[in-house]
Amino acid sequence: MSGKKLALFLTYFKMLIGIMVAFFFTPYLISNLGDNGYGVYILGISFLGFLSVFELGLGDSAVRFIIKNEKSEKKGHLFFNLFALYALLSLALILLSCMAYDHLEFVFSSGFDEGEIKQFKKMFVLVVISCVLTLLLSPFSSYLYAKEKFVFVRCVEIIAMLLTVGLIVISFSYNVSPYNAFFATFIVLLLGVIAKLIYSLAYLKLPIEWTFIDRELIMSISLYALPIFVVVISELIYWKLDNIIIAYTLAPNFIAIYAIGLMFHKYFMAFATSISRLMTPSLIASIDDNSPIDKIVADISNIARIQVFVVFYILFGIILVGKDFINIWIGENYTSAYYIMLLIMVPFSFELIGNLRNTLLQVKGLYWYRATIVLIASFVNVLLTFQLIDSLDILGVALATSISLVLSYVATHVMLYIKVGFNLKLFYKTTFAGYSVIFLLCLTLYIVFHCLFLPATWWAILVKVLVFTFLYLISCWFFSFDSQLKYKVKNKFLN
């Protein structure tokens, strides 16, 4: 098995482990911590992502420059300047975090009691330490991706996932608290960073030399990363700021419900991006070689066809059984999470399909347009959130995100057509061929299931999933797969 195929297998295996952990472990966390305690823990995780904004999008930029300088004698010089840049960012993070720490009690005093605020302040210290260490050692992660060491990265992530569960269970035997759960998460993050450090230095012999600060090089890296950074901020506003707004406006138990609605969004995204992530280095090389735009569009469309098959299967499945699943899994008091899930995942599915277009914009030097669009949409999201949260609570938060995602998606595709000459007709025709029929089939199936009044049990959900899976595969084969894709499937599974 080739490295990329093994990495893809491990990626999906990691997702399977993640889903199983979420399925079995989330009820355990909620039952031990309670709705409020779980909400405080999730808020800490949100801050962990929010403070990672200090990476400034330099990760993707570093990968690009490492690939570009792979055969250059200045590779050690490049890494020295990357470490210097990340050290400066780490210092800025420490200073700003110290200022923010003194205001945490004021920000969350309306929804949190004294004990919850105390727990969160302790978690915030761990968040800062974790982000600083991750920043300082980020060049090692970029080097692993540039060298396409996906197998090692996935193995580390799988082990980390399982180790986190084990450490949390052990910590709860001593004291059940959001801080203990987060401390276990922090330890595993630290071990993962150290593992990448050792592998890069001992096995890959990452070249580092003590040289000088190259302002021109740092400027080039930063300019490439700047639009990516803007998009990173925008995406953090989409997926992390909502929890902070909910904590400020409502209460921790609402964070818990909203988190359940978003829980499977990350696996949804992982399924769609795992394939495109593996193809990113080769697409960068193709664009750098000045391949015709039609060929690049065709390559992106072919990958998107595989993405849409996976994404729509998950999306339609959630529509069919998601509500019953949440009610049995967590409880009927979390039913709102189902509607949150749908409001966000429907528009987000289209955003994920064909996401290699972002790599095209980055390499072409046009990512600023995408960054501007997403930034504007994220501000629209915040404004709508404050408008809708008073009347619709957390459903208003999800609706605001949904509207913003739609606006961003439409504007990005219009920009692609104008600036790059991206053949939208070819992309949509190739990617979504036959899915109008498949959608009608799934809608019919939803109505049939609803009219049968099947009891909400695990067995009923299993039967629905099996029936849906069979009909989905058959309909995709006859209405969506072209002859080339059918040949690949036959060659893979029948020979």
Please give the Cα distance from 460 to 229 (Å, whole number).
Answer: 45
Counts of helices then strands in the chain (DSSP H, E): 21, 0
pLDDT tens per residue, range 99-122 = 888 888 877 777 777 888 888 889
Cβ burial 69-98 (10 Å sphere, 16+ → b, else e): beeeeebbbbbbbbbebbeebbeebeeebe
The reported pLDDT for the residue numbered 160 is 92
pLDDT digits (tens, 9 = 90+) for 40-93: 888 888 887 766 666 666 777 777 777 776 666 666 777 787 788 888 888 888
Six-digit token string for 408 = 């961003």
Q: How many other C-beta atoms are found inside a 10 Å radius of the C-beta of residue 345?
A: 25
| Buried-exposed string 243-275: b where 16+ CB fall within 10 A, e elsewhere | bbbbbebbbbbbbbbbbbbbbbeebbbbbbbbb
Contact status, residue 264 vs residue 320, Cβ threshold 8 Å: no
Whole-prediction pTM: 0.77
Give the C-alpha separation, 153 to 31, whole Å.
32
Question: Mean pLDDT for each 10-residue chunk of the chain (495 residues)?
Answer: 70 83 88 88 80 67 72 70 82 86 79 82 88 82 75 87 93 89 91 85 72 75 73 74 82 85 77 69 70 78 83 89 90 90 91 82 81 87 91 91 92 89 84 84 85 81 91 85 68 60
Q: What is the pLDDT of residue 391?
A: 86
- Return the residue matching tokens 């998950």: 314
First to last CA, the chain: 16
Tokens of 135: 């920043």
Domain boundaries, the chain: 1-261, 264-495
Q: CA–CA separation, 40 vs 48, rounded Å? A: 13
